[in-house]
Structure 1
Amino acid sequence: MTGDLKTAPASWAKVSQPRANPVRRAAAAAAVRYVARDTAATIELDGKQLGQGGGPVMKVHRAGQFLDRLGSDAGTGFGEAYLAGDWDPAPGTDLADLLLPFAQRFSAEKQTNLVPKWAQSLRWLATRSQPVEADNDRTRAQENVSAHYDLSNAMFAEFLDPSMTYSSAMFEPGSHDTATYGELEAAQLRKLDAVLDAAGVQSGSRVLDIGCGWGSLAIRAAQRGAWVTAITIAPQQALQAQARVEASGYGNRVKVALRDYRDQIGEFDAVLSVEMIEAVGEKYWPVYFGAIERRLAPGGVAVIQAIVMPHERMLATRNTFTWVQKYIFPGGLLPSVQAIEQVNAQHTGLDVQVLRHLGQDYATTLRIWRGRFLERWPAIAQGGFDDTFRRMWEFYLAYSEAGFRSGYLDDVQIRLTRR
């Protein structure tokens, strides 16, 4: 759906017209009361204030439509209701601050009471399974990745830092609460250097960058004297990455290719992949890590950066269709560190070593991106994006920020070496 938003605002008709169902609406209302009971936020619904009192306030403008969405699809309804304008934070309340208490319900210490016991057996009524498009074979993988990363190079350039790095930065200790957009590029370069250092990239190294984005890591490696093959399956992104490489003056050291990781050949001293595994899909995790292993030269090192969730929550949600999958990353699934360890133990000869955790760094990165996105919205809108798209991206960035702030999500750098 995402690939059509820019050119077909009429596609939002489904968002604005939920299907009414009195039974599902009543069930959704009961679920909202249950969630509000032990969430440190207040929900204003039908003139009543639900919750413990205090905390950020969520104002529901259209209670019927809000409950219809939740009752129709528990995985996507809450976010869809925000897209449609059914609810907003109270004036003066930041969206991520409002979403934080809800994210905290999903943190490790509260996993046991996410849904009341009486309702757990009925979850199938309001939870959709993964669609066929979630299978990331070669054709669908390119469609899914392109749907997000080829939305508009110009749009991404408006809110990313000048290096066009679309992954967590790494900030100086103690600077998370105060860091600004002006500090983002330095923090991104610090992260890129950490990846390159962990992989031992130096002059003469042969480097493979899987899921190269707009080329920032490849350019940084080339600045060390490395020879880099950078691959992506998003066509417009590949063109922009190649243009950025040429503009950097390292076109003789970096080759950008529109290529699936499964089709790459050759041996490399370092294989790098920053926040790409999230788009691979669980079915293909063994294939992904097997490809990394085959591309490593003797003595080579691989480093990946991965957004992860707790293992128990991954197991509980891996077959459900979420708002993020529907509107932002079709076909995506976050792994857990344990899942990464298990896949490599069972399917490869690679050892897994977690180097560092960047969860709070990602929360800061997302806060800065969201502020910049909203600040630059007038320019972004000139690309043909409508206000519902703005609300979608505002929710996506705030929702993700709350996930990292709560500790429900983490971002890890992992080194892989042959056993």
Structure 2
Amino acid sequence: MTIQQPVSRRLVPRPNEGEWPGLAAVPGTPVKARIAEALFRRAVRNLPVRVELGNEVLGRGGPVMRIVRPDDFFRRVGNDSKIGFGEAYMVGDWTADDLAGLLTPFAETLSTLIPPVLQRLARRYVEARQPAEEANSVEGSRENIHRHYDLSNDLFRIFLDDTMSYSAAWFAEGSDDLVAAQERKIDGILDMAGVAAGQHILEIGTGWGGLAIRAAQRGARVTTITISAEQAALAEQRIAEAGLTDRVQVLLRDYREAQGSYDAIVSVEMIEAVGEKYWPTYFATLDRLLKPGGRIGLQSITMPDDRMRVARNDYTWIHKYVFPGGLIPSVESIERNLADEGLRIADRRSLGQDYARTLNHWNRRFQERWADVAALGFDETFRRMWEFYLGYCEAGFRVGYLDVYQLSITR
């Protein structure tokens, strides 16, 4: 199912400069804007989309993109295409009737939309680089995680399902039940780690406690660590409500600070926040904490290795507004780092298309319950930012630009 949004012909008010610094002012120069317009026209002419640009219609037809402020749109995109395209949506320079559907053909041709030689020049001379302060040191990681996961527990509760799982679900054939799919995902990754009654397991990245609760219900004793104070507080509450405080310990601790020896280690979609510089430390930590004969269950979003190598230093809209300091690894990069520690992938399962469905569920629920989100104090710019984030990610998983794997790791 896709999210259908009516194409609005009403101009979206510009964001408040105090709350969204830099967005109210339109950046860029006329020269960059003209170059961006020429490249955009070239890129969309053969895409299965309908781009309404003034009195012109571009593309071969399909999901509608309406550019309502052309001058501002091209100035933002010309200033930095990897950031400006999303910012232009946030401020209402363009709108769409089916955002994920529109972004899908863009995602499918992402590596060829702009000629490779121009991509290389843009990376070298135009596009921003990742800020040094967003590096994932112990202190930097805490700030990066705080900026996203500590937004508001109530916000996440509004659009997530009852398990409070903020990661790819695993749908059974013929079922669209998100709760059942999330429970199946959790059982799947626990199985990858061989979690059983009587074991002491470590979870790196607590989330809101759903996996720790399920592991404890299997009879395991769980130590779960997180660097999000907001998540830790709600996880402890949910664990207490489940009557499992005697089996689950929540620690506010960085993975590098973890101590002990565990029968199994589980981590779901946390490695994306580690950063390439710290991958060796992360996998050395897994090896240090895992008992002989133990297994690791790792769930990771991935991208193809060649694209990861090209994009490893990019600073994108997702970095600026959603996940600062992150880098999505490739399966190959995970294997290279595992090999350095004498570890290997023994089994794997792809959930890429399941993630596209999961994101669609979240987006639909977020839109249906926008009034509840707004009541928490979030404004229209935030609404469009969150819609773009969910739609952008859904498109990436739909076309395989992104994937997600559950991995069983052994020595």
The answer for unaligned runs of 5 or more in structure 2 is 1-15
What's the CA shift for 1:320? Answer: 1.1
- Does structure 1 conserve the Cα–Cα contact (< 8 Å) formed by 2:28 and 2:78? no
Name the amino acid aligned to 2:156: F
2:247 matched to 1:243? no
2:406 matched to 1:413? yes
Separation (CA, whole Å) in 1 of partners of 2:70 and 2:347: 45
| Cα deviation digits, residues 347-371 of structure 1 (max 9, x gap) | 3110123411000100000000000
Aligned length: 395
Name the amino acid aligned to 2:141: A
Separation (CA, whole Å) in 2 of partners of 1:34 and 1:115: 9
Separation (CA, whole Å) in 1 of partners of 2:352 and 2:300: 10
Question: Could you say which residue in structure 1 is the equivalent of 2:128?
Answer: 128
| Cα deviation digits, residues 229-264 of structure 1 (max 9, x gap) | 010001111111111111110000000000000000
Question: Could you say which residue in structure 1 is the equivalent of 2:66?
Answer: 59
What's the CA shift for 1:13? Answer: 4.3
The answer for unaligned runs of 5 or more in structure 1 is 1-7
Question: Could you say which residue in structure 2 is the equivalent of 1:224?
Answer: 218
- TM-score if structure 1 supplies the norm length? 0.92
The residue matched to 1:225 in structure 2 has which SS?
Answer: coil
Separation (CA, whole Å) in 1 of partners of 2:200 and 2:219: 10
Match of 2:311 among 286, 308, 317: 317
Question: Could you say which residue in structure 2 is the equivalent of 1:37?
Answer: 45
- Does structure 2 conserve the Cα–Cα contact (< 8 Å) formed by 1:363 and 1:401? yes
The residue matched to 2:260 in structure 1 has which SS?
Answer: coil
Name the amino acid aligned to 2:300: A
Name the amino acid aligned to 1:37: R
Identity of aligned residues (%): 51
Q: Which runs of structure 2 are paired with 1:152-231 in the superposition (5 Å)? A: 152-175=152-175, 179=176, 183-231=177-225
Question: Could you say which residue in structure 2 is the equivalent of 1:4?
Answer: none
Separation (CA, whole Å) in 2 of partners of 1:118 and 1:398: 28
Separation (CA, whole Å) in 2 of partners of 1:352 and 1:169: 21
- Does structure 2 conserve the Cα–Cα contact (< 8 Å) formed by 1:74 and 1:126? no
- Does structure 2 conserve the Cα–Cα contact (< 8 Å) formed by 1:71 and 1:126? no
Question: Could you say which residue in structure 1 is the equivalent of 2:100?
Answer: 96
What's the CA shift for 1:174? Answer: 4.2
Question: Could you say which residue in structure 1 is the equivalent of 2:5?
Answer: none
Q: Rate the CA distance shift 1:120–1:168 in 2: closer, same or farther, 3 A.
A: closer
Match of 2:272 among 278, 286, 305: 278
Separation (CA, whole Å) in 2 of partners of 1:232 and 1:307: 19
2:92 matched to 1:85? yes
Q: Which runs of structure 2 are paired with 1:319-338 in the superposition (5 Å)? A: 319-338=313-332
Separation (CA, whole Å) in 2 of partners of 1:60 and 1:249: 53
- Does structure 1 conserve the Cα–Cα contact (< 8 Å) formed by 2:64 and 2:98? no
Question: Could you say which residue in structure 2 is the equivalent of 1:391?
Answer: 384
- Does structure 1 conserve the Cα–Cα contact (< 8 Å) formed by 2:206 and 2:231? no
- Does structure 2 conserve the Cα–Cα contact (< 8 Å) formed by 1:170 and 1:361? yes
Q: 8-17 or 354-363: which moved more? A: 8-17
Question: Could you say which residue in structure 1 is the equivalent of 2:76?
Answer: 69
Q: Rate the CA distance shift 1:337–1:117 in 2: closer, same or farther, 3 A.
A: closer
Ranges of 4+ aligned residues in structure 1 off by more than 4 Å: none
- TM-score if structure 2 supplies the norm length? 0.93
- Does structure 2 conserve the Cα–Cα contact (< 8 Å) formed by 1:136 and 1:284? yes
- Does structure 2 conserve the Cα–Cα contact (< 8 Å) formed by 1:41 and 1:98? yes
Separation (CA, whole Å) in 2 of partners of 1:117 and 1:414: 33
Question: Could you say which residue in structure 2 is the equivalent of 1:376?
Answer: 369
